[in-house]
Amino acid sequence: MFSPQRLKLARQRLGLTLTALAEKSGVSPRSLTNFETGDRPPSDESIAKLAGALSVPSSFFEREPLEAVPADAASFRKLSKTTATRRDAVLAAASLTVEFYEHMASRFTLPGADIPTLDKFEPEQAAELVRRRWNLGDRPISNLVHLLESKGVRVAALRHEYSDIDAFCFLRDGTPYVFLNTSKSGERQRFDAAHELGHLVLHSDIEMDPSTSKEREAEANRFAAGFLMPKSAVLAQSMRAASLDRVLAGRSYWRVSAMALTHRLQELHLLNKWQYRTMCVTLSDQGYRSSEPGGIIPETSQLLRKVMYGSTSKVTVRDASVALDLNPEDVRSFVRDLVPVAA
């Protein structure tokens, strides 16, 4: 049976309109509309054309319908700057990534979710409570991706061409998913991951209404700062009126960007407004606003490495692409920079 939902997902994941797909496939826009609404199934010839245009095997359209991730269920950074087409593209790819993880879960026992819901707490307090629940104390988190995976979060990569989308997250059947733009610096990815954890902790039961997006983003930022740089420990480090050398040493200790630590110091009243502005200008002049000179190596996935490169019963890119009726390049995009992506 042909699945209209899968045709739409395959089209959206490439950011194609119906008109663009019609031009690329040679199938008329009217026919495509009928195929996606289920009003009329395509012929074998049309399926072959669509499969070629969308870079999927024809068998992809014969699989069980796949529920798309709804836009109001996902938290997006910079949502106001993201077009609907690009948003739908990453959500379509996310739906396929969920199926990829479900395939892994059918072969391996993956960690169960342990993400508390703390929507009644202020972000800083929620961050402290999560640290306490996970027995983290006030020390730096050595690898945030590993920590999230151990708590049942499925971490995946965004396509690098979506550079305007830093990260997003959602829950599917009680399982939390976090998507990171792995083309960013290691420090930026860690803050993005902590930001998305903030959404899962603070906003998992809230509809992602665009009208309240700025408020939610600010709360997730405060959670991320408190989670990565706990207040009690930062205050104990004698960072008042910190010099550039102290800031750079501190960012290496906490494994965050120099700008993120500077903002945290101002937030904790360890830098006054003039000191904060001066430090930001100094860091910007030295390249720390757009990058992180001498920064950390981006974190990788322990879970994916074990599942895809373990000694027994591993799920390779080739195996997964065959099992899911996908092009191997799609599977590689799910895990890009989180693990090696050879077939």
Q: What is the pLDDT of residue 77?
A: 63
Q: Residue 26 is which amino acid?
A: G
The predicted model gives 23-37 an average pLDDT of 96
Indicate whether 138 pLDDT > 80: yes
Torsion of CA 95, 97, 102, 105, to 10 degrees: -160
Residue 343 has pLDDT above 50, yes or no: no
pLDDT above 60 for 129: yes
Do residues 246 and 214 make contact, with C-beta atoms less than 8 angstroms apart?
A: no
pLDDT at 80: 55
Average pLDDT over residues 128-140: 97
Q: pTM to 2 decimals?
A: 0.93
Section 314-321 average pLDDT = 92
Instruction: Return the CA Rg of the chain.
Output: 22
Determine what percent of the chain is predicted with pLDDT higher than 90: 82
User: Which tops the pLDDT comparison, 70 or 100?
Assistant: 100
Beta bridge partners of 7: none
Amino acid at 133: R
Predicted pLDDT of residue 309:
87
Share of the chain above pLDDT 70, in %: 96
pLDDT at 165: 81
What is the domain partition of the chain in residue ranges?
Answer: 4-66, 68-210+300-343, 229-298
pLDDT exceeds cutoff 60 at 342: no
Burial category of 86 from C-beta neighbours within 10 Å (exposed 0-12, middle 13-18, buried 19 and up): middle
Q: Check whether 88 has a pLDDT greater than 50.
A: yes
Q: pLDDT at residue 268 above 60?
A: yes
pLDDT at residue 164 is higher than 60? yes
Separation of alpha carbons 250 and 233, rounded Å: 11
**Band of the pLDDT at 41, cuts 50, 70, 90?**
very high
pLDDT band at 206 (very low <50, low <70, confident <90, very high): confident
Residue 115 in this model has a pLDDT that exceeds 50:
yes
Fold assignment, 4-66? 434 Repressor (Amino-terminal Domain) (1.10.260)
309 — phi, psi (to 5°)? -130, 20
- CB contact at 8 A, 315 and 307: yes
Q: Are strands 175-180 and 154-157 parallel, antiparallel or unpaired?
A: parallel
Beta-strand relationship, 167-172 and 75-76: antiparallel
Mean pLDDT across the chain: 92
Interatomic CA distance for residues 162 and 269, integer angstroms? 36
Checking if the pLDDT of 19 tops 90, the result is: yes
Q: What is the pLDDT of residues 218-240, one digit of tens each?
A: 999 999 999 999 999 999 999 99
Residue 9 neighbours by CB under 8 Å, 6+ apart: 66, 68, 92, 95, 96
Using a 10 angstrom Cβ sphere, with 0-12 exposed, 13-18 middle and 19 or more buried, the burial of residue 39 is exposed
